[in-house]
Structure 1
Amino acid sequence: MTMLAAPPAGPVFELPRLPLLLRHAVPRIFEGMILPVAVFYAGMMVSGFVGGVVVAVVWVYGGVACRLARRRPVPGAVLLAAGTVTVRAVLALLSGSAVLFFLQPTLGVFCAAAAFLATARVRRPLARRVAEDLVPLPAHVLENPLMRRFFTRQSLVWGCAQLGNATLSLWLLLSQTIQTYLVVRTSAVAVLLTGAALLTLVDFRRCLRALELGA
């Protein structure tokens, strides 16, 4: 553990090692980014486009039901995802167009890219808000000037990565079959976002070492 000094009114904070932080963040990323695509693709392979849409909706609402059954709070992001996937499914099934089902999240990625880039220089950029959901860091660490510069850099990194993601996704969606879209987009975006994640991890590790030396 890395010991970081806390403000006079607070206790000393033990900063977890990077592997512990990864074990905290990876399941959330896997649940939110990888499983939904895999579930839709599996449903589509078995029952066609309609089957994929139905399985995707059941998956999202099943996650809500499991949390309620375990008496766990349902995050606002999960409720938003449930409402969004319902609207997407209704529009896609009524129109019979798979493009409509995937267009909304692609446009959402464009919005996310714009949000990362637009908030890079504000006090609490989007990169920091995402980090607060994934990594348990106290406020005095997050407010450290070194970490504030880190979040500015990462807002730019992830803004550019998501812009590339959205541009590629839109081109594939409008020019290729849905099967090609799913396979190529998933593979290409995995490489793109993995590269961005590696940059983030290297930068984060450098910041942790600097914080440890300055503690």
Structure 2
Amino acid sequence: MKWFACLRALLGPDPAREKGERGENQVAARLAEKGWFRVKGLCLRNLYLPAGENATTEVDMIYLTRKGIYVIESKNYTGRIYGDEDRPQWTAAVYAGRGWLGRVKTEKHSLYNPIWQNAGHMRALSRLVGPEVPLWSVIVFSGRCRLADVRWDRDDTAVCRVEELPRVLRKLGRGKPLSWREVEDLYRRLEPYTQVSWFQKQAHIRQVKEKERARRGR
């Protein structure tokens, strides 16, 4: 509706969200390339899944295959990424020029542990599809970044750059426990969660900001 467009124009752009969408677009473009992965699947983006009473969780992307569902969390960062599966905060160290003595300066930015973040997405998705459907967590960093020191031990999880995604999808998850008909059925069941109203999206954004404020206040 026209008044929706006017309201969104008045509110102005959300730079953080636009940056995230650029990262998602890079991953989605790779998924759309036929034969690139050698893992046939169906893709859904921006799913708003129920996560408790009056709450939702937004999943960047899922890739449904006969090996199960890859739950993809896209991160669009530059610089060097440092993180550990067991620590709540990770760090992005960005080059910030040189000082008077020629020393390299860096700016450090923290981000919430994306493995923990995606684990919440997987719990919400599992409640919808059932425990018999295998779920695989994939954290994909796009943009000009380097995974300098990122550690994890979980067998159902991978952290990579977008260029490494083909290898990760082929390696993560073995066998073909689902039929293609089951994959298509899962797609039809989950697709409605991508079709939410603008008001529902705004409610989710408020919820996320409240959680972030509470996390920083600890």
Establish whether TM, by shorter chain, passes 0.5.
no
Q: Which is bigger in relative contact order (C-alpha 8 A, separation at least 6)?
A: 2
Q: TM-score, normalised by structure 2?
A: 0.31
Q: Which has the larger radius of gyration?
A: 1
Q: In proportion to residue count, which structure has more strand?
A: 2
Q: In proportion to residue count, which structure has more helix?
A: 1
